Structure 1
Amino acid sequence: MLILHFSDIHFRKSEISTAQDPNFHLRSEMVHDVVRQSKLLGAPDAIIISGDIAFAGDQDEFEFATEWLRKLCAACGCSMQSVFVVPGNHDVVRELADQDLVQLIHGQIKRAKDPTAEIAKYLSNPAVSRLLYQSLDNFNQFAFQFLCDLLPPERTRATRDLPLNDGSVLRLWGLNTAVISSGHDRAGELFIDRASLQITREAGVVNLVVAHHHLSWLRQGAELADHLNDVAPVQIFGHIHTNRIEMNRDFMRLTASAAHPDRREAGWEPGYNFVELSVVGEPEARKLHLKAHVRVWQTAPGGFQAKMDKGASVFEHFVDLEPWHPPQVTSAPVPPTKAPISGVGAATMLIEEGLAMNTIRDLGLRFYRLSFSKKLEIAGRLELLEDEDMGQPDHERFRRVFIRAHERGKLKDFAQAVAAAEQD
């Protein structure tokens, strides 16, 4: 399993696609380095972005990010289906988060004796939760194409399962640490909701947790650290723009460099990471073998190079795993099973014979790329919209259309309609 990891890309609307983009050369060199490393290590199985894709949460910034990711995937030999994202503070539209009513709610959460319970109360109230999440609408519209969009109270984290080499599962968990982010953020004054503390150990599953804000920025940082250290052998954070790798008996914690840090920052060090994961050993003595390839920018001469761990160009670590035996393969036919789709929450899609998960993700990507009017026309023609959808943000409305297409046995008609719309 090979993961390509970026954080804090900060696509800024005033700079992208202009002759004055200060990061154009840096970004080009980054893609060249990703291609070189992919030739050495193999094509990535997943691309994780741990927040701050945009700079100001602007729709144009996310559209640029989509095109950049499409080119990156083509260059390094992986699919857009492999992308997994979480929100950061720069993915929030601050004009919305800084509104007086939203700030009143933020203040009540910060002053509460039990802020986690206070957040749970607000997220269960549709009107209040809409106020808390409306500043992430543009992020969610972007994340919908990867089935990583969020909607409280049930879908406040994204998940995805990937196969490991011994038949076990690598489960990605994307947390939302920007739930009360605004222009008034301070270290130690941000929060997670209760769902982030419900990650559990499961036989044959290795948990990898992704969050934007470093633990030091969270009021519940110590509580979350204790929980993750028990259940998540791999932990990935961003936000602080400083690359650190902590190798503990039970986990590896990677805090990322920014892909595009502010050039005025002290210790300016753009970077990104490749992380290799494999399970080694017998079923009764399994270990997770981790190899982090940290790539950082050097100047004069310019180029990305390996960050060194003393004399080694890779940070290598082993974490003990619980014993696990792959299930016995039988010749009896296996009925279709329900497999969760990333971020859907309680809703699931039936993975039918001949309709693989990648096919569903590809269909979601293609549907996302259609114009709003074409998506609406398909939803109306196939009778996939309901009155209850009208008050929902666009990303949620079209997610429900996508799910209903399956639930009502119209997924093939839906795919044909998407293909026809692409030809127009």
Structure 2
Amino acid sequence: MGAVFVHVSDIHFGQEKGERIHIHADVKQQLILDAKEVISSIAGGRANGILATGDIAHSGTRAEYEEAGIWLDELAKSIGVEIHQVQMIPGNHDLDRSKLSFSGSQILDHIRAGGTDEYEAILNNPTDRAALFARFEDYGRFSFGYNCPLNNEGGFASEMKIELAPGRSIRFIRFNSSLLCHGGEKDECPELMIGARQFTIPRENGVENVVLCHHPLNWYKDREQVREYIRSRARVFISGHEHNPKVSVDNVEEGRDVLMLAAGATAPFKSDDTYTFTYNIIEFDWDEEIDGLCVTIHPRAWNPARTSFESDEKRLGGKHPKFRLQSPSFRNAAELSKSTKSELVFEENVSNSPSLDSSPDNVIENQSNNKEKYLLDSNGYETARLKFFRDLFETERLRILVELEALPSGSNDPITQGLERKFFDMLIRNGKLAIVERLIDKLIEERNGG
């Protein structure tokens, strides 16, 4: 059995007005019921996680992410996974444009008038980077809880690897394609860029890369370079944004394929013959016969006459399109062992520049701490961390850290998100997980008037 994910994209929490509020709420509830039924039939009721390829919110505000978190929790429980097992990337609607400063606007104009060199120069300046990333404040807090932190130096990010068979794994690589978005960008006149810090993704024998990116390749000034790296170093590229489901397999060269999957919109503003409510269930598995990667898609689309989801047989090539991808990384891997057990691993962040913040307090664990991290994961650590960062306000998180004496005495350093994570991890390592869980629940209850 391989790895199975529910794939949603362009959900746009917060866009609804008038009667659409009730219609979209119903569609999202029907998706949860439909996913549960499909996962029960193909995976025994237990999936491996959820993929969200951007535009989770509509305006990038905290209230929208609170609503999204409640829905994602329900979806996760319905498909038999822990609520933290979500891989997500930001879309152009996941930034809060009201937080763009004058200097940030000038920076965007400067990059759009220039190119890759101007973009790299801006990324080299911490103050300029901060002006661009300020718009992702609420998304960043939300995604941080899911262990999908933005790389605040403009590089790619990666924290999850799935073993499909001994010596054969997939790794999820997350791109932020929305850093340069301003609201008026068009695909026919590309202004966005991925940048070399992101597209120089790793190559590792036995590991095939699955890239999650909101905008398709045609939206970028540097699309030719991005395309070269995707075709040479990734096996699957999954995008969203255009609301038009498409899939293709490119034979790059003998023995090397790449699958390009464009998602439809889980919640377009309106459903019609062109755009409708869609989502996918995706299976990743090892193809022993060709020693390659097998990807099976179960496309789901809204039937307005039945007001429910059903198999979509017209947009992605049939009821259950199956793609057998030639995989050089698998063929170059070491010989398989006798074991056939698959497992999910939260791995060392492998980006080519640090995540979270660039201070020495960056909290990504080093290799020597990996074993301990896995033990924390198995004992409720991931769920507690999700609630701590996603569900609590900054003052509430600080209250817990102070009450449990996690903050060093006499420290005047700013309490960054990275430092909060460091102190949180220290509490868990010191055996205080249960106390932290109780305090989180208590603070949420107090805030809600309990």
TM-score range, shorter-chain basis? Answer: 0.7 to 0.9
SS in 1 for 2:305: coil
1:155 Cα offset (Å): 5.4
Correspondences of 1:131-146 after superposition (within 5 Å): 131-146=131-146
Structure 1 pair 137–175 and aligned structure 2 pair: CA distance change class (3 A): same
Q: Distance in 2 between matches of 1:35 and 1:205?
A: 29
Residue equivalent to 1:375 = 397
Structure 1 pair 311–88 and aligned structure 2 pair: CA distance change class (3 A): closer
Residue equivalent to 2:445 = none
Which residue of 100, 104, 118 corresponds with 2:106?
Answer: 104
1:185 to 2:185 alignment: yes
Q: Distance in 1 between matches of 2:234 and 2:422?
A: 30
Correspondences of 1:125-274 after superposition (within 5 Å): 125-153=125-153, 156-187=156-187, 188-249=190-251, 250-263=257-270, 267-274=274-281
Is 2:209–2:233's contact at 8 Å kept on the other side of the alignment? yes
Structure 1 pair 216–338 and aligned structure 2 pair: CA distance change class (3 A): closer
Q: Distance in 2 between matches of 1:225 and 1:127?
A: 30
1:422 Cα offset (Å): 3.2
**Larger deviation, residues 72-81 vs 160-169:** 160-169
Q: Distance in 2 between matches of 1:271 and 1:110?
A: 33
1:339 Cα offset (Å): 4.4
Correspondences of 1:337-356 after superposition (within 5 Å): 339-341=347-349, 345=355, 347-349=364-366, 350-352=369-371, 355-356=375-376
Which residue of 317, 320, 324 corresponds with 1:318?
Answer: 324
1:72 Cα offset (Å): 1.1
Q: Distance in 2 between matches of 1:409 and 1:286?
A: 44
Q: Any idea what the Cα deviations from partners look like across 1:197-236, whole Å, max 9, x if unmatched?
A: 1113211111000000111222222321221011111110
Residue equivalent to 2:447 = none
Percent of residue pairs identical: 22
Residue equivalent to 1:393 = none
Q: Distance in 1 between matches of 2:85 and 2:265?
A: 21
- Normalised by the length of structure 2, the TM-score is 0.82
Q: Distance in 1 between matches of 2:234 and 2:317?
A: 28
Q: Distance in 2 between matches of 1:405 and 1:68?
A: 26
**Larger deviation, residues 411-420 vs 71-80:** 411-420
1:89 Cα offset (Å): 0.5
SS in 1 for 2:299: strand
Structure 1 pair 158–384 and aligned structure 2 pair: CA distance change class (3 A): farther
Is 1:13–1:58's contact at 8 Å kept on the other side of the alignment? no
Q: Distance in 2 between matches of 1:367 and 1:342?
A: 24
Paired positions, count: 405
Is 1:273–1:292's contact at 8 Å kept on the other side of the alignment? yes
Question: What is the alpha-carbon root mean square deviation over aligned residues?
Answer: 2.9
Q: Distance in 2 between matches of 1:87 and 1:28?
A: 23
SS in 2 for 1:22: helix
Residue equivalent to 1:24 = 25
Residue equivalent to 1:402 = 421
1:388 Cα offset (Å): 3.9
Structure 2: give runs of 5+ residues left out of the alignment.
Answer: 252-256, 339-344, 356-361, 443-450
1:61 to 2:64 alignment: yes
Q: Any idea what the Cα deviations from partners look like across 1:248-307, whole Å, max 9, x if unmatched?
A: 23111110010111217761221000111111226xx51111111111112223322222
Q: Distance in 2 between matches of 1:49 and 1:400?
A: 27
1:414 Cα offset (Å): 5.0
Structure 1: give runs of 5+ residues left out of the alignment.
Answer: 330-336, 391-396
1:62 Cα offset (Å): 0.4
Q: Distance in 2 between matches of 1:107 and 1:418?
A: 45
Structure 1 pair 302–328 and aligned structure 2 pair: CA distance change class (3 A): closer
Q: Distance in 2 between matches of 1:228 and 1:38?
A: 30
Q: Any idea what the Cα deviations from partners look like across 1:355-380, whole Å, max 9, x if unmatched?
A: 15454422311322344333102333
Q: Distance in 2 between matches of 1:88 and 1:12?
A: 14
Structure of greater relative contact order (alpha carbons < 8 Å, 6+ residues apart): 2
Is 2:287–2:324's contact at 8 Å kept on the other side of the alignment? no
Q: Distance in 2 between matches of 1:36 and 1:211?
A: 28
Matching residue's letter, 2:31: M
